[in-house]
Amino acid sequence: MGSATGFDFSAITSPFRMQPGLRRLAPGAPQLTPLRPGDPVLREKLAVLTEFAPQALLAAPGFDATPALAALCGHAAAEWPAAWHHEAGAWHAPWLGWSLAGDEPQADGDAAPDIGRCLSALPREWRLPALLCLAFAEDFAVIDGDSARIPWLAVCLPSNWAPEEKVGRHFAEVHAPVADNQLLVNAGEHLARLVTQPDRWERFVWTITRHPRLHAHPDRVDPAPWPPAATADELASRAFFRTEHQTFIPVPGLRQAVFTIRVSVTPLTQALADPAQARQVHDALSTMSAAVLAYRGLTDARDRLLDWLARRAA
């Protein structure tokens, strides 16, 4: 299970609105988070790529991801050379103990064999994206600024959406199921053009969920409702604060960007240790529309969560 470390609580505003919330990334701020063996994020990603790769690694017909992958690999090597670098014609992920020479996995020393088995089982064109997904906590997608479409995804840890239903779709189509989505949809083409320019951008997303796993593909999310008889304290003890830190890495020479998504899941009681943070979440939750509450699965839990949050804020 990930932690909410790095989440910026200033992104939680009230009254709550579904909006882009983009802001310029601070100069020099890292956009990637390297993983080491034993990290829970790595375990979940490896399980997804081993069992459900066709739902995680997707490309629109005819799309060439080579420039975007080159930009991502170069950015990763510049940010974290100890965790990702190119040498002797191969991309190396030293902290994992694995490399790709061309598209052939190679173990560096006493590397865990499960990563090699996973990579070898994938189509050759997906081995480099998969190794990137395992070397870093972030998932990745490509945004095309000219068409406002998403032609390529390497997403192991979706938040209640199915990557296979989004690949190749227009930004407006991707966000069509989102409740109160008008601000997002109206800004879609402008946002696609903005994030594929040289400036770097970020945004933060959050929700409260009853599901503890990082991997929340709708096919594998427990459909059980919030326990109706649980008290406010009992409900909060079973709830989790799910966040995403999203950034954009421009692809030089093309109107494209690599969209990075880092998911964290933290027990609610641990995530909101500060009364001021509890107050922020309380005020945002209290102003969510009925449509947003239903979309996020919070309708039945809202009043009890507000009770707990108010007491935590006090």
* The model's pTM: 0.93
pLDDT over 70, % of the chain: 94
Residue 178 has pLDDT above 70, yes or no: no
Under 8 Å CB-to-CB from 166, ≥6 apart: which residues?
150, 153, 174
**pLDDT tops 50 at residue 260:** yes
Question: In 3D, which of 134, 139, 198 has the Cα closest to residue 166?
Answer: 139
Residue 38: per-residue pLDDT: 94
Lowest mean pLDDT, pick from 110-114, 118-122, 147-151, 262-266? 110-114
Instruction: Express the helix, strand and coil content of the chain in percent, nearest 5 each.
Output: 35, 20, 40
Distances from the Cα of 236 to the Cα of 9, 92, 100, 211, 314, angstroms: 19, 42, 44, 12, 16
Token code pair at residue 224? 């059980």
pLDDT value at residue 281 = 98
Q: Which tokens go with 170?
A: 């227009």
Give yes or no for residue 79 having a pLDDT over 70: yes
pLDDT tens readout for residues 113-137: 999 999 999 999 999 999 999 999 9
pLDDT tens column, 67-78 = 999 999 999 999
Question: Would you state the pLDDT for residue 177?
Answer: 62
Question: Residue 110 has what pLDDT?
Answer: 77
The answer to whether residue 17 scores a pLDDT higher than 50 is yes
245 burial (CB, 10 Å; 0-12 / 13-18 / 19+) is: buried
pLDDT at 5 exceeding the cut of 80: no
- Banded pLDDT at 2 (limits 50, 70, 90): very low
Geometric angle at alpha carbon 70, from 68 and 72, rounded to 5°: 70
**Residue 192 reports pLDDT greater than 70:** yes
Identify the pLDDT of residue 173. Answer: 76
What amino acid is encoded at 84 in this protein? W
**Average pLDDT of span 145-170:** 94
Domain boundaries, the chain: 9-22+33-313
Average pLDDT over residues 284-294: 95
| 3-state SS class at 251 | strand
Instruction: Express each pLDDT in 204-255 by its tens digit.
Output: 999 999 999 999 999 999 888 999 999 999 999 999 999 999 999 999 999 9
Asked whether residue 191 carries a pLDDT value surpassing 60, the answer given is yes
Q: Is there a cis peptide before residue 40, judged by omega within 30 degrees of 0?
A: no
Question: Does residue 179 have a pLDDT over 80?
Answer: no
Whether the CB-CB separation of 129 and 69 falls below 8 Å is answered with: yes
Tell me what the pLDDT averaged over the chain comes to.
92
Percent of the chain with pLDDT over 90: 80
* pLDDT beyond 70 at 60: yes
- Indicate if the pLDDT at residue 183 is higher than 80: no
- CA 70, 195, 24: angle at the middle one, nearest 5? 110
| Nearest Cα to Cα of residue 283 among 14, 2, 4, 9 | 14
Task: Please say if the pLDDT value at position 176 is more than 90.
Answer: no
DSSP alpha helices (H): ranges in the chain? 40-51, 53-56, 66-79, 113-121, 127-135, 171-174, 182-186, 188-195, 232-237, 268-271, 275-286, 290-295, 302-313
pLDDT value at position 112?
84
> What is the pLDDT, as a whole number, of residue 1?
42
CA pair distance 77, 75, nearest whole angstrom: 5
Q: Give Cα separations from 36 to 82, 101, 136 (angstroms).
A: 12, 21, 9
Helix or strand or coil: residue 92? strand
pLDDT in the model for residue 184: 60
Q: For the purposes of burial, counting CB atoms within 10 Å of the CB of 311, is it exposed (0-12), middle (13-18) or buried (19 or more)? A: middle
> pLDDT at position 279, please?
97
Check the CA dihedral 7-252-42-82 and report its sign: negative
